[in-house]
Amino acid sequence: STSLLWFRRDLRLSDLPSLLAAADAADRVLACFVLDPWLVKTAGDRRLKFLYDSLRGLDEKLDGRLLVVRGKPENQIPKIAKAIDANSVHISADHAPYGVARDARVEEALSGIKGGDIELHSTGSSFAVTPGRVTKNDGEPYKVFTPYFRAWREHGWHSPARSGAKSADWIDPKDVVGTGSSDVHAVDIPDVDVELSIPAGEDAAQKRWKQFRQGAGDYSQHSVEDYDDARDRPDLDASSRMSAYLKFGNIHPRTMLADLTELEKDSDHKDGATAYLRELCFRDFYASVLREWPHSAWHNWNRSFDAIEVDEDKAAHEAFDAWKAGKTGFPIVDAGMRQLSGSGFMHNRVRMIVASFLVKDLHVPWQWGARWFLDQLIDGDLASNQHGWQWTAGCGTDASPYFRVFNPTTQGLKFDPSGDYVRRWVPELADVEGKAVHELKDGRPSDYPEPMVDHKAEREEALRRYGQVSGK
Ligand code: FAD
């Protein structure tokens, strides 16, 4: 008997419950990935490169036995299932709106072949706790993070699943593709000519996680131990850079949580481990929010903000272009935007600063910024990104209050006190020493722009606009 294991955002072999389910269900398993043109179209070059490199890593671990096809999953999956005469198709659950609709289409298409005998089995998800599981006592979803966090910890999570390459007897796609009546067409894993600042794949994820636990590494010497103190400092590069690995499922958060709960028992690591665990919970929380309120993918979670006045005219487009290019004349904003376009990553604190600047200083719709982020970020993820933006814009669940407007200069002074972050990303300012780089009181180099807006005046304008809709 045979089963099909369909990989999506779970590109690893360890701690993969759907692999164990596929192996349990049949004697032999075929591993496949479908390059869905819709998903390829919505990802920027670096994210695609990360995806393709992750697939290459997976294929190597499977000794070249990963079948990659291109097309709509609802066409491809039934075709492959038929070609191997599968009894079942196995996946990890996806809760984002596109994934939910796609999986329903695939399930429907499967019911139309082999007398409707092929079932789509979903086992596990990319989250510590499957979205929708942690609810209030009355079954209602949480809207506020802190009580969710408490309930999430109480709920707990499974131990990592013990899976690996040896868990299944793998079918070689060459025995399936192009044989007999099969019209399954394998494609080579594509490549994109772009550099990645972090290597992709399961081995790289494990290595980075180990380094971050121990405080030694290729990119940074910081670790879980000083995470709670240093994580907000973009100049120190003290965060874990695990986000892209989590996005593509190169590692499961449960694997990390098992280590973190151990580290919490150690007094030197306790605070850092708890702080890190809380961030992983944010990732679960936003996935739950998106599952519960799918409109929040592109619309204000809080619909009373729909009435807010935003700028969308030609001047707004020009301002948006200056923001994207990192030419606003506000050093910390420009450093962030250039880190994004130059590396496909941006530090969390700076994500908040540049987002606040776009929405509250330039009065541009948050959706424009969110779309740009999704295009550029390697870790670009609908749930975390859209809700990170809406937190900043004040229209999300449990959002920052609308009247909190980040001052980019004081944020820079506080969180990049050495000025190193700005100098690293804005070469025009490389000769300005220390934290003076944020204020530029002694003048600006001729090739660095003047501030594009008067922050004080735009803050007042933002408060005026928000004042009109708040309290409705
Ligand atoms: P660490 O500080 O080491 O955090 C560890 C892990 O916890 C991260 O890898 C991530 O999985 C999770 N995490 C941390 N902070 C958050 C958060 N606020 N929300 C959800 N999960 C979190 N994160 C994404 O993964 N994809 C996105 O597209 C994304 N867009 C964002 C947009 C905005 C406007 C904001 C304010 C935040 C966004 N974030 C996003 C959250 C956060 O900025 C990144 O997860 C973090 O910077 C990744 O770096 P790291 O792995 O070094 O983080």
Residue type at position 288: S
DSSP 139: S
pLDDT value at residue 114: 82
Ligand 1: lining residues by beta carbon, under 6 Å: 231, 239-243, 246-247, 279-280, 282-283, 286, 348, 351-352, 355, 373, 377, 379-381, 384-385, 388-389, 392
Higher pLDDT, 42 or 61: 61
Predicted confidence band of residue 142 (pLDDT cuts 50, 70, 90): very high
Q: How far apart are CA 320 and CA 93, in angstroms?
A: 36
Q: Using the predicted structure, report yes or no on whether residue 216 has a pLDDT greater than 90.
A: no
Phi, psi at residue 136, to the nearest 5°? Answer: -70, 170
CA dihedral 130, 134, 139, 143 (to 10 degrees): -110
Which residues are within 8 A (CB) of 456 and not within 5 positions of it... i.e. 6 or more apart? none
Whole-complex ipTM:
0.99
Q: Which residues contact 299 (CB under 8 A, 6 or more apart)?
A: 306
Q: How many CB atoms are closer than 10 A to CB 66? A: 24
* pLDDT tens-digit map of 109-131: 999 888 888 999 999 999 999 99
- The yes-or-no verdict on residue 359 having pLDDT over 50 is yes
Tell me what the mean pLDDT of segment 398-408 comes to: 86
3-state secondary structure of 193: coil
* Torsions phi, psi for 432 (to 5 deg): -85, 125
pLDDT at 65 (0 to 100):
97
Mean per-residue pLDDT, 415-431: 97
What tokens appear for 253 in the block? 């958060």
Ligand 1: atom nearest CA of 280 is 7
Per-residue confidence (pLDDT) for residue 472, from 0 to 100 = 45
- Domains within the chain, CATH numbers bracketed: 2-125 (3.40.50.620), 202-292 (1.25.40.80), 303-469 (1.10.579.10)
Give residue-wise pLDDT tens across range 151-175: 999 999 999 999 999 999 999 999 8
Q: What is the pTM of this model?
A: 0.97
Distance 384 CA to ligand 1 centre (A): 7
Least confident among 342-346, 397-401, 408-412: 397-401
Distance CA 388, CA 14 (A): 29
Q: Which atom of ligand 1 is nearest to the CA of 355?
A: 34
Residue 220 has pLDDT above 80, yes or no: no
pLDDT greater than 70 at residue 217: no
Which of 78-87, 107-116, 221-230 is predicted most confidently?
78-87
Tens of pLDDT, residue by residue over 245-272, are: 999 999 999 999 999 999 999 999 999 9
pLDDT for residue 262: 95
Mean pLDDT across 417-444: 96
The Cα–Cα gap between 330 and 452 comes to 8
Please give the distance, rounded to the nearest whole angstrom, from the Cα atom of residue 112 to the centre of ligand 1.
41
* pLDDT tier at 180, thresholds 50, 70, 90: low
- Ligand 1 center to residue 258 CA distance, Å? 20
- CA dist., res. 48 & res. 358, Å (int): 26
Closest ligand 1 atom number to CA of residue 381: 28
Percentage of the chain modeled with pLDDT above 90 = 90
Which ligand 1 atom sits nearest the alpha carbon of residue 347? 47
Nearest protein Cα to ligand 1, atom 35:
388
Rounded to whole angstroms, the Cα distance separating 337 from 326 reads 5
| For residues 33-61, average pLDDT | 96
**What average pLDDT is seen over the chain?**
95
